[in-house]
Structures are given as C-alpha cells and as structure tokens.
Homo-oligomer: A and B are copies of this chain.
Amino acid sequence: MTDEASTDCDDAVPDRVGILAGWGSFPVELAEHYRSHGAQVHVVAIKGHAAPELENLSDSLRWTGVLKIGAGLKYFESKSVRHVAFAGKVFKDRILYHGRGWIEHMPDFTCYRLLGSSFITRRTDGRDDTILNAIMEEYRRRGIEVLPITKTAKHLLASEGCLTQRRISRAQRRDIDFGWQIARQMGGLDIGQSITVKDQIVLGVEAIEGTDALVTRTATICPRGGFTLVKVAKPNQDMRFDVPTIGPQTIERLARAGGSAVAIEAGKTIVVELTKTVELANKLGISIVVQPAEASKSEIARDAAAATPKASCTDLIVANQRPSSSRTQVQSASSRAA
C-alpha cells in the first residue's frame, strides 16, 4: 500500500519499481534516477536491446526475449513489483523480419494470447499503440501499474526554449514551423515520429526503421546538409510508452549527416543525458529547439470539462502550451547543461 500512496504525489518515486528495458540510455538513466531516490529497481532486460550496464544499476535483473510477455510479468510479480516503467526503444523489424529474431524472442503463451490477433489471426493491426495497449492492459489486469514518465521522472522531459548556444536561422524557423504541422499529422497515423526538412520540403519520413536510419538516409538525399530533424509526440501521446527521445547519439548522428538543427516538443520529449547532449550540440554546431507543446484535442476536452465556466477554449490551449512549471524546468535544464 505504501507504493500506491506514494504515487499519489505527482513526482514521487515508488519504493520498489520495475523497468521493462529496451534499447538505449533512457532505461539506464531511469534506473539511476530511481536508485538515487532510494527505490529498489528490478529490471526485465530485452535481449539484443537493453544496455548490459543495467546489471550494476539494478537490485535484480532478468534477460528475456521481448515476446516473453508472461515471463516478464511473472518476474515482476515474483519481486512484488507493483509499478513498472516501459523504457527504451524496441526494434520491431529486428524481431519480426531478421533471421535470429524469432528464435531469440520466441513468444510465450501470454504473448500468443495477447498479440495473436495482431500477428497470427491478424484481426487487429500491428501498430505500436495496438500492441502496447494490449500488453499494458494485461499488466493492469494482473495488478501492476505502468507508470508514465510524467509521474516519476518528469525532469527527463525537455522544456521550452533553445537549449544550445547556436540559435536557429530564419530559414530554419520556417522549416520547423512547416515540418511541425506535417509531423503532427503524421503522428496521428502512428507510423513514426520524425521527419527531416529543408527549404520547406520534407526530405524523409520515419517509419519502422527509426530516427537514426532516417538521419543517415537524409545525408544521401541531401549531401549539401543543413537540414532539420523534427521529432514530435503523437497528438494523443501516451506518456507510458514510446515517448519521443533524443540524446547524445542523435546529435552525433545528425552532425555526421550534415544536419544542423533538431526540434522537439516541450514536456513530451525525453532528452537523455541532457548535459552531455547539449555540450555535444554546442561543440558540433547543432541547434536544439524545444517547441511549446501543443495540446491535443482530448487534453483540451478534458481540461475544458474540469475548468470553470468562464475560461475560454483559447485560455485552455495557452495554459496547456505553457505549463506553470515550464520556467523552472528551463532553468534547471540550463543549469544542468552549464
């Protein structure tokens, strides 16, 4: 009961927390964060994806195939974990279409039961949202809450403003405004999160291949460089999974590909290793711009229902775009980056 009480407070970390860890440094940073708040950390690490250093950062860890959904659940249950965070990308293509994938990630019975309709009978589609919602529903049914990043590690979310010394040019501003609208609409289709833009032309669109592959490909499309990477949350982004993420590797890859700026969304994008990311961007001459978050329709509706009758819809949008904690977050981001 302690755990549940503790999560009532918005930013509180549960005493005992599980991480279902995919690729990259986000699960690592999350584990460090939880440990630094005195929580016990139990990790289910996805083979071929999760970082080995998680072994030293957790109280217990089990390696498993991504499709061993029942096994993961059982492991968390055995450790009495009642709160789990899904963190880090899972490369669906590596699992589904590449040689060793199916062997390493052989589905267990729970997986068949949950995802059979996506991959065997194909009654439902194979979009991330479809799959992850089915998995989360099973966690919920077994009494385990999947935590949104906004609840336990809010500080990892980017705050509005330009994070780098290098500001953006007027042409880049136009590219970002243009790309932003396109990427938002793309996000609504749940295909990918990123596009690359130059001269108000969409150079590339991300699907299953991931942002890194998109950036690398853009280098061959536009060897002259100078393009912008626009990475946005979906209009109804579920903050429990698939939250757009950038980090040092994004910046490095962008610089190598000749890109010159990246635009992300405030309060809805994770910046892993913030200090290192900003330092690297400054060194490599990349601008990082955090755009004000756009309120989704459902957010506006929800807030409108809760609002006093006098508040207009515009007020609500503005309020949503500029959360009250925004300034403090920008400051803390800058101070961390300094």
Q: Which residues of A contact B (CB under 8 A)?
A: 92-93, 96-99, 118-119, 122, 124-127, 171, 174, 178, 182, 185-186, 189, 191-192, 195, 198-209, 217, 221-224
Q: Contact check, A92 vs B189: say whether CB atoms are below 8 A apart.
A: no
**Which residues of B are found within 8 Å of A198, using beta-carbon distances?**
97
Minimal beta-carbon separation of A287 from chain B (angstroms): 18
Q: Contact check, B204 vs A208: say whether CB atoms are below 8 A apart.
A: yes
Q: Contact check, B92 vs A201: say whether CB atoms are below 8 A apart.
A: yes
Minimal beta-carbon separation of A259 from chain B (angstroms): 13
Q: Contact check, A125 vs B200: say whether CB atoms are below 8 A apart.
A: yes
User: Which of A126, A206, A223 has the most C-beta atoms of chain B within 10 angstroms of its own C-beta?
Assistant: A126
This chain: copies in complex: 2
Minimal beta-carbon separation of A241 from chain B (angstroms): 17
Q: Contact check, B224 vs A98: say whether CB atoms are below 8 A apart.
A: yes
**Which residues of B are found within 8 Å of A202, using beta-carbon distances?**
191-192, 207-208
Q: Contact check, A207 vs B208: say whether CB atoms are below 8 A apart.
A: no
Q: Which 6 A-B pairs have the closest CB atoms?
A: A125-B200, A126-B201, A205-B205, A97-B222, A97-B224, A205-B207
Minimal beta-carbon separation of A188 from chain B (angstroms): 8
**Which residues of B are found within 8 Å of A126, using beta-carbon distances?**
199-201
Could you say which of B124, B182, B199, B221 contacts A209, with CB atoms under 8 Å apart?
B221
Minimal beta-carbon separation of A189 from chain B (angstroms): 6
Q: Please give 15 more A-B residue pairs, beta carbons under 8 A apart, in addition to A125-B178, A205-B205.
A: A93-B222, A96-B222, A97-B198, A97-B223, A99-B223, A122-B171, A125-B201, A126-B199, A127-B200, A127-B201, A185-B189, A186-B186, A191-B205, A203-B208, A204-B209
User: Which of A122, A171, A198 has the most C-beta atoms of chain B within 10 angstroms of its own C-beta?
Assistant: A122
Minimal beta-carbon separation of A270 from chain B (angstroms): 23
